[in-house]
A = this chain, B = another copy of it.
């Protein structure tokens, strides 16, 4: 069974986080929620919800994961990119050829971590100027090598399905899509 980690900091965008959590569950991919900070309970952007995480990030490199998911949301993505522990995990995943997936403002975490420069990306319109070292392509979802980026909250299901497509077979993916009517 594949295993993925989603990094959650206060101010995460709820739909951007819940969509991959939901899709991974449907796809039979083990997903662990990792709180960036000192509390297992992390509160989403605008205080819309609080999500209980499975573990604290601490200094872990999340060594046994196949993919790392970075949701956006303001100030969630800023809290992610300001965390040296997060940047270290992103470098570790990218450097070891594992999948890194970022949506909305979270592609700027790649820049903060100093990985994947020159790669084609999309991101939220408001942070394009932070992505100067990348080839901003725009659009809903952009994939190059082991990098998946997506534009924003409205694209969350496409983002989650793109991640799932790297981790499970076509038959499973088709079953997930049918179950979600998409």
Contact = CB atoms under 8 A, between A and B. Distances in A.
Interface in A128-182: 140, 151-157, 177-182
Which one of A19, A153, A182 has the greatest number of beta carbons of chain B within 10 Å? A153
B157 A181 contact: no
Q: How many copies does the complex hold?
A: 2
Contacts of A83: none
A115 B30 CA distance: 41
A87 to B, nearest CB: 25
B124 A181 contact: yes
Contacts of A151: 181
Interface of A: 13-15, 18-19, 21-22, 25, 46, 48-52, 104, 124-125, 140, 151-157, 177-182
